[in-house]
Structure 1
Amino acid sequence: MKLTAIAIDDEPVALAVIKNHAAMVPFLDIKGYFTNAFEAIDFLSREKIDLLFLDIKMPDISGLDFLSSLPQPPMTIFTTAYSEHAVKSFELDAVDYLLKPFSLIRFMKACNKAHNLWQLKQQSVLVKEAPDYIFLKSGYEQFKIVLDDILYLESAGNYVNFILKDRRLISRLSMQEATDLLPVENFTRVHRSYIVANNKIERADRTSLYIKNIPIPIGAAYASLVDKLLG
């Protein structure tokens, strides 16, 4: 998926430079070039973009005021011949500040910063959208289990016991299958036979973790994971 963008500058020559540079950036898709800031505002009211290339010194409205007027501004890279506005631009959370005339290499560096930030935002959205529950088969029934209700899991032969806040459920699973059911950022396998909910650990010593005063053994093969988990 490409990073969508528009460019705003009252000088057509400056827009031509951005257009030429942008053609060399494979992940960038420029949807429009505007010499009139108010036409750009109209475009932004209809279209959602990820990135804005924005001049600061424009006749009708400054780039700084333009950005401040947007209720949900996209990521912004300022393009200007004036260095004195740099501090103010970063107060507005600008991704970068390009001083004219800027090279292709400098332009690509700014685009890479924006792309990396965009990818982090996409990952954050995916995490937020991940469900906070799983469905677990126990016997002939399927049970909806809220992840925050899970204290730990314990292997029992060909089954796994899910120890919850108010009950326990047993399911015919291997420990690997149980591990694959759970988000890795919230649960850690600490022993061949145990998986714990990270935020339910109350204390630890050299051999065990404790959840509700129940000792969970730390397996030698998992000690480094536990050390990383406990910081």
Structure 2
Amino acid sequence: MDKKVLTCTAVDDEPMALKLLESYIIKTPFLKLQNTFPNAIDALENFNEEPVDLLFLDIQMPDLSGMELSRIIKNRAKVIFTTAFDQYALEGFRVDAIDYLLKPFDYAEFLGAAQKAHNRILSEYVSDTTSPEKEFMYVKSGFKQLKIALDQVLYFEGLKDYVKIWVKNNSSPILTLMTLKSLEKDLSNDKFMRVNRSFIVGLQHIEEVERNLILINNTQITISEQHKAKFQDYIANNSL
């Protein structure tokens, strides 16, 4: 998901105000207008089907106000309020609005609020997608929970409901009750790769590659046709 461009919806019961918002959004490079609505009820119904990153909400609207809509949506989208009543500003921040625009506002004011929203959403997105990489894992083997440094794992070998974990400088593998499929979800794609039905290899421990064979610690592992293209891309991206 690319957060360089934010999807947004504008909601205002005044046609001229809504038209102005629409024009401002369209001319802003990092905003993509999904919809405009003259009332909050239709906006809510659409949002539940097609969520957006950012909502520009008028506060004073019949039936359902912008403030009430923001409370319903809660943290599923960011909100910038547009209002003719500055007494609503403090309440707007209490529902964690990014900003409020006091009508009439010009494009410079709009852009400042939109940029604030963009910075907030982008920083949250980067934070969510850059969590620290695992350095070790605990696995149950017999009656013990063993701590294994992932950078020392040569490869994982699947045997039905069991996995053999071959660790550098260990003469015998660690046997644990799990499947390769469940294990694969917890491993970094930058460090490990599934190369056939039975093996996930530690990429940094590959010593040689010859046609469809990988050599790790004097063990030859076959690259299956299903995984060949992905592995070849990895080799190409890491070749001089």
The corresponding residue for 1:105 is 108
With normalisation by structure 1, the TM-score equals: 0.58
Q: Which amino acid aligns with 1:136?
A: D
Aligned partner of 1:102: which letter? F
Which residue in 2 is equivalent to 1:227? none
Q: Secondary structure at the match of 1:68?
A: helix
How many residue pairs were aligned? 147
Native 8 Å contact 1:136 1:142 kept in 2: no
Letter of the 1:118 counterpart: I
SS of 1:136's partner is helix
* 1:132 equivalent in structure 2: 134
Out of 48, 51, 68, the position equivalent to 2:51 is 48
Q: SS where residue 70 of structure 1 aligns?
A: helix
Which residue identity lines up with residue 78 of structure 2 in the other structure? M
Q: Superposed, which structure 2 residues align to 1:1-231 within 5 Å?
A: 1=2, 2-128=5-131, 131-133=133-135, 135-137=150-152, 141-142=154-155
| TM-score, normalising length: structure 2 | 0.56
- Taking the aligned partners of 2:151 and 2:60, their CA distance within structure 1 comes to 60
Following TM superposition, by how much is the alpha carbon of 1:127 offset from its aligned partner in structure 2, in angstroms? 1.9
Deviations 1:122-175 (A, max 9, x none): 1111123x542374257xx348xxxxxxxxxxxxxxxxxxxxxxxx967xxxxx
Q: RMSD across aligned C-alpha pairs, in angstroms?
A: 2.6
Q: Secondary structure at the match of 1:111?
A: helix
Contact 1:67 1:73 in 2 (8 A): no
- The offset of 1:72, in angstroms, is 3.9
Gaps of 5+ in 1: 144-167, 171-179, 182-231
Report percent identity of matched pairs.
Answer: 37
Specify the alignment match of 1:188 in structure 2: none
